[in-house]
Amino acid sequence: MATDQELPEGTVQNILDQESLKWVFVGGKGGVGKTTCSSILSILLSRVRSSVLIISTDPAHNLSDAFQQRFTKTPTLVNGFTNLYAMEVDPTVENEDLPNVEEMDSFISDLTNAIPGIDEAMSFSEMLKLVQTMDYSVIVFDTAPTGHTLRLLQFPSTLEKGLAKMMSLKNKFGGVLSQMSRIFGVDDRFYEDAILGKIEGMKEVIEQVNKQFKDPDMTTFVCVCIPEFLSLYETERLVQELTKFEIDTHNIIINQVLFDEEAVESKLLKARMRMQQKYLDQFYMLYDDFHITKLPLLPQEVCGVEALKSFSRNFLTPYQPSIKKGTVEELEQRVSILQEQLKDAEEELGRLREGK
């Protein structure tokens, strides 16, 4: 195994230093801390970049919770910042210029039956088109749990297949096409050309973006996880999929780590720490060429800009428990905690005996 000195630095400094980065994806299992980490990354980036946009594509939006501010599908300046914007988009939600809901439902169901994933591909490409014209220096994605994100990244090929299928089946799916023509508001006679043109245009945007996604100078994917078996397993799957899609990834954030500190006496906590250590060792072994950032599990949630800023310290300097195991200071603290506990127990025992 590599020695400490050979390991890449355990922070996200490399991301802040990479000036050519345009897209930063943050992904992982639900509840591991994606929103917290992407919010903090966007705050840190806002200090070194002219403008930053953070986009949540997770239908279970919680940028609003993290920043304690309401966000919508248009970029909104985050309170307390001059160059950090946030927006929440739902990749499954229909376009605004579409007609009534009933028509939309049948349109979407017809179309997704014909070309699975095209509805999402369409709104994702619309969103990318919008974002691209806005000229942000860097865009951070707080993505939905793993499977979903990888589907988004596959959209160019989904669209390509969809387009080919449309061409070959356009007679068979005349109904779908005529519904689409109403939706896009084009004349019936020209609907086929118009719609195919629209999809072609969409494909262009998404192809261009996809080229950027595959360029490690412009795009990177940050994997967030926790030191547990399932999360390790899922991270490995994610890293393999990203490699398959040729998307760069070299940062892992391990969140909710229990550090051996504060003279922990709880057997449960000690057992959990041992378990975590086993998986931490495995992370370091499997990803010795990654920047691995470890974040401590806090007693409270990370809510609001102040909490995010304060927690962001651990992204730049590896977290150090305040007290080192085995030192005089630590042993003194443990002895005094045990003395307190002994005193409490003796008092309670005394009370119980008297009560008999």
Ligand X SMILES: Nc1ncnc2c1ncn2[C@@H]1O[C@H](COP(=O)(O)OP(=O)(O)O)[C@@H](O)[C@H]1O
Contact call for residue 64 and ligand X (CB under 6 A): no
Closest listed residue to residue 86, CA positions, set 98, 76, 96: 76
CA dihedral 39, 45, 51, 56 (to 10 degrees): -20
Q: Whole-number minimum distance, CB 67 to Mg ion, in Å? A: 12
Active site residue 142: no
Contact call for residue 46 and ligand X (CB under 6 A): no
| Cα separation, 313 vs 125, whole angstroms | 35
For the four alpha carbons of 145, 148, 149 and 150, in that order, the dihedral sign comes to positive
- The interface mask with ligand X, positions 234-273, x = CB under 6 A, is ---------------------xx-----------------
**From 32-40, 120-128, 157-165, 197-205, span contacting ligand X (CB under 6 A):** 32-40
Residue 180 vs 295, nearer CB to ligand X: 295
Q: Whole-number minimum distance, CB 135 to Mg ion, in Å? A: 26
Q: For 115, how many CA atoms within 13 A lie in the half-sphere containing its CB? A: 28
Strand partners, 131: none
Q: For residue 303, give the amino acid letter.
A: C
Known binding-site residues equal 29-36, 228, 255
> β-strand 291-296 against 251-257: which pairing, if any?
parallel
3-state secondary structure of 24: strand
**From 46-54, 126-134, 281-289, 300-308, span contacting ligand X (CB under 6 A):** 300-308
Q: Whole-number minimum distance, CB 318 to ligand X, in Å? A: 14
Q: Whole-number minimum distance, CB 351 to Mg ion, in Å? A: 47
Contact call for residue 146 and Mg ion (CB under 5 A): no
State the number of binding residues for ligand X (CB under 6 A). 16
- Chain residues 161-180 in contact with Mg ion, contact rule CB under 5 A: none
* Binding-site member from 13, 62, 157, 178 for Mg ion (CB under 5 A): 62
Contact call for residue 34 and ligand X (CB under 6 A): yes
Beta strands in the chain (DSSP E): 23-27, 52-56, 76-77, 84-88, 138-142, 219-225, 251-257, 291-296
| Cα separation, 186 vs 50, whole angstroms | 40
Contact call for residue 297 and ligand X (CB under 6 A): yes
Q: CA-based angle 296:84:34, to the nearest 5?
A: 35
3-state secondary structure of 141: strand
Beta-carbon count within 10 A of 90 CB: 16
**From 25-33, 69-77, 236-244, 263-271, span contacting ligand X (CB under 6 A):** 25-33
Contact call for residue 219 and Mg ion (CB under 5 A): no
Contact call for residue 147 and ligand X (CB under 6 A): no
* Binding-site member from 23, 29, 35, 250 for Mg ion (CB under 5 A): 35
Among the listed residues 58, 119, 142, 248, the single catalytic one is: 58
3-state secondary structure of 85: strand
Work out what residue 312 binds among Mg ion, ligand X, none; the CB cut-off runs from 5 to 8 Å by kind: none
Please give the residue ranges that form the binding site for ligand X (CB under 6 A).
30-36, 62, 255-256, 295, 297-298, 301-303
Please give the residue ranges that form the binding site for Mg ion (CB under 5 A).
34-35, 62
Residues catalogued as catalytic: 58
